DNA sequence: GTCTATACGGTGATAGAC
DNA sequence: GTCTATCACCGTATAGAC
């Protein structure tokens, strides 16, 4: 992958987190990336859908990897998850609450308009659930229980991101972190 | 409020749930509403931001009212919440997973671009939290505990809506409903 | 209140020179 | 690989007749 191509993807990711899919124009991407104007359709001959799809995959890959490594840095899975979400809250706070990977916003926007982009989003979500499930299975849950908990964790996380963004405050995300730790601890102990 | 004005608001709500804020054009609103072309800027002289803001407020009002009445139809607050979320899941299912009030998508999209619309979204979220908090307080929680649970419930709900939309399945939302009932029951009993 | 016409800029996309 | 020019279309918004 050449440098220019990657710059375009990175710039697209940044713009998507802030503005979403329809609001992000190709001209804007060119400007933000600093790429030569003629390069867009050279590297992405299938146009906007291709660029957005690849950006979602790219950002998703990074997020999944960050989760995977983050969740094994601490022995206790629940404590690890707690710290990971709080770390996410720190990041979002630093970036003035416009951040959190393009995933949330793009998946909602593309659900009805682009099957291609939707599919890219779904793939990332599935990976995230898989990572969570694998890590939560270490708590002594059955596979089905771990899968269920993973999905619920993901839902809370997404909701927390939204509320933090809307309220311009990291508090909702931190509430989610605390609550998930406590409630799952009880679920495991029972 | 004249009929035409209301039709415009209603049409805007429908389009917003499907497509979001930047993807919904004024021409599209005119067409969808069946309103006379000349009426848009007559009823909404401040343009697009005004239309969207009012649509968010309108849809939010309906949602809040539906929650309020839904949550008191059953004696047990937790059971009432459970049934309400499942009812939402039914609705979303019927509308091919493009529905769920314009709130989620617009709040995320407008967070960085329109303070006016953002504020309208925040106001609705605050009302929803208030309704939840009031109802959950009946479980014997302190006011602070009820507020915290209300926020967490809202986060799970939002996340569940997103996942259901992305997966074209009501399952995530139903998981959220079940889990909230169970986990809060334990929290109350302890 | 509503209609038509239009201004003006932006959009995604393509063609062809270099 | 990149640039420039250009396409047809869309967007929001406004003006003025009726």
Considering only CB atoms, A19 lies closest to which of B104, B113, B158, namely B113
Q: What pLDDT sits at residue B100? A: 82
**Residue nearest D2, CA–C1′ metric:** A38
Instruction: Name the nt closest to B3 by C-alpha to C1'.
Output: C1
pLDDT at residue A71 tops 80 = yes
d(CA B112, CA B118): 8
- Cα separations in angstroms, A17 against A115, A149, A161, B109, B187: 20, 27, 12, 9, 35
CA distance, residue A156 to nearest chain B CA (Å):
4
- Domain ranges within chain A, ordered by starting residue: 48-189
Taking residues A6-27, report their average pLDDT.
Answer: 98
User: Residues in chain B whose beta carbon is closer than 8 A to a beta carbon of chain A?
Assistant: 18-23, 97-98, 104-105, 107-109, 111-113, 118, 121-122, 125, 148, 151-152, 154-160, 162-163, 165-167, 172, 175-176, 179, 183, 186-187, 190
pLDDT the model gives residue A111: 96
Three-class DSSP labels, B115-140: HHHHHHHHHHHHHHHHHHHHHHHHHC
pTM above 0.85, yes or no: yes
Burial class (CB in 10 A: 0-12, 13-18, 19+), A142: exposed
Nearest nucleotide relative to A26: CA against C1': C12
What pLDDT, in 10s, does the model give residues B16-68?
A: 999 999 999 999 999 999 999 999 999 999 999 999 999 999 999 999 999 99
pLDDT at B128 over 70: yes
**Which residues of chain B neighbour A22 with C-beta distances below 8 Å?**
19-20, 22-23
* pLDDT beyond 70 at A1: no
Residue B88: its pLDDT value, please? 97
Q: Which residues of B touch A112 (CB under 8 A)?
A: 18-19, 98
**What does the alpha-carbon distance between residue B60 and residue B151 come to, in Å, rounded to a whole number?**
17
Task: Give the closest residue to B16 by CA, choosing from B108, B123, B116.
Answer: B108
Q: How many helices (H) and strands (E) does chain B have?
A: 9, 0
Superfamily of structural domain B48-189: Tetracycline Repressor, domain 2 (1.10.357.10)
Q: CA-CA distance, A34 to A20, in Å (whole number)? A: 20
Distance between first and last Cα of chain B? 51
């Amino acid at each position: 992958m050449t440098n220019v191509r990657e710059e375009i993807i990175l710039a697209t990711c940044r713009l998507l987190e802030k503005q979403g899919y329809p609001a992000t124009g190709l001209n804007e991407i060119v400007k933000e990336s600093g790429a030569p104007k003629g390069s867009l359709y050279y590297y992405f001959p299938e146009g906007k859908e291709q660029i957005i799809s690849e950006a979602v995959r790219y950002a998703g890959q990074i997020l999944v990897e960050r989760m995977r490594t983050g969740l094994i840095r601490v022995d206790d899975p629940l404590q690890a998850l707690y710290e990971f979400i709080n770390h996410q809250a720190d990041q979002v706070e630093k970036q003035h609450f416009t951040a959190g990977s393009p995933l949330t916003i793009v998946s909602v926007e593309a659900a009805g308009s682009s099957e291609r982009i939707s599919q890219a989003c779904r793939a990332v979500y599935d990976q995230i659930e898989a990572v969570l499930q694998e890590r939560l299975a270490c708590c002594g849950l059955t596979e089905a229980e771990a899968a269920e908990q993973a999905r619920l964790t993901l839902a809370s996380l997404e909701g927390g991101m939204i509320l933090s963004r809307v309220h311009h405050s990291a508090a909702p995300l931190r509430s989610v972190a605390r609550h998930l730790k406590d409630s799952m601890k009880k679920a495991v102990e029972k």
